[in-house]
Structure formats: C-alpha cells, structure tokens
Amino acid sequence: MSDDILRRVGAVIDSRKGADPGTSYVAKLFDKGLDSILKKVGEEATETVMAAKDVQTGGDPHKLVYEVADLWFHSLVALAHFGLKPEDVLAELARREGLSGLAEFASRTQD
C-alpha cells in the first residue's frame, strides 16, 4: 500500500470535471458546486467524529476507517475544485516530517 492510491483517485476526480453529471457521482458533485462539496466535507467530518466516539465505547473500529475514507475522498474533491492535488497535501505532510520538532513546526506555521 502506498500513496499511489491517493494520486489515482485524485486523477479520476480531475477527469470528472465538466463530465455529464448523470454519469458519475463526482461529476454530479462538481456540477452542484462548491457549497455542495463543502457540505459533504462537513457531513463526513461529523460522521467521523461520531464513529470515533462509537469506537471509544466498544463500536466497530472499521466504521471509523470507513468514515475517514469518506472524509478523505470528499476533501480530495474540494481540493480538485481549486485545482489542487493530493500531491500538494502529501508534500505538506512531508515538509512537516522534515521539521525537527513540534516547537519548530509551530514557529513556522504561526501567522
């Protein structure tokens, strides 16, 4: 398993821009516009929190994995709306990994 799956899903999402909304979930989401995409991101974030609380009280951990996958997927659609790619987020995570500690990270991300 590698980050190739993020790149592949990102490429498929990009290919849905301008496609017939009747043929694809992602094309339909793009057609509905940014507010609809962001609404899905918000819903999936809430469902992720609820799943985590459920796991905390003995629920199925895979439900959390499922909801995070939904959240990541809809976040990729939001990025694509602005012409951004999963690689942009991976590069940011790699940059942070390269920082020597939390204090340094915080000092570089302050406004």
Ligand X SMILES: N=c1c2ncn([C@@H]3O[C@H](COP(=O)(O)OP(=O)(O)OP(=O)(O)O)[C@@H](O)[C@H]3O)c2ncn1[C@@H]1O[C@H](COP(=O)(O)O)[C@@H](O)[C@H]1O
- Site residues for ligand X per CB under 6 A: 9, 12, 16, 24-27, 70, 73
Count CA atoms within 13 Å of residue 29 on its CB side: 22
Task: Measure the CA–CA gap between 30 and 23, rounded to whole angstroms.
Answer: 12
Q: How far is the CB of 60 from ligand X (least distance, A)?
A: 16
Q: How far is the CB of 103 from ligand X (least distance, A)?
A: 37
Please say whether the beta carbons of 29 and 37 come within 8 A: yes
Q: Which is nearer to ligand X, 70 or 87 (CB)?
A: 70
Q: How far is the CB of 73 from ligand X (least distance, A)?
A: 4
Q: Which is nearer to ligand X, 31 or 70 (CB)?
A: 70
Question: Which of 70, 75, 2, 40 lies closest to 32, judged by CA?
Answer: 40
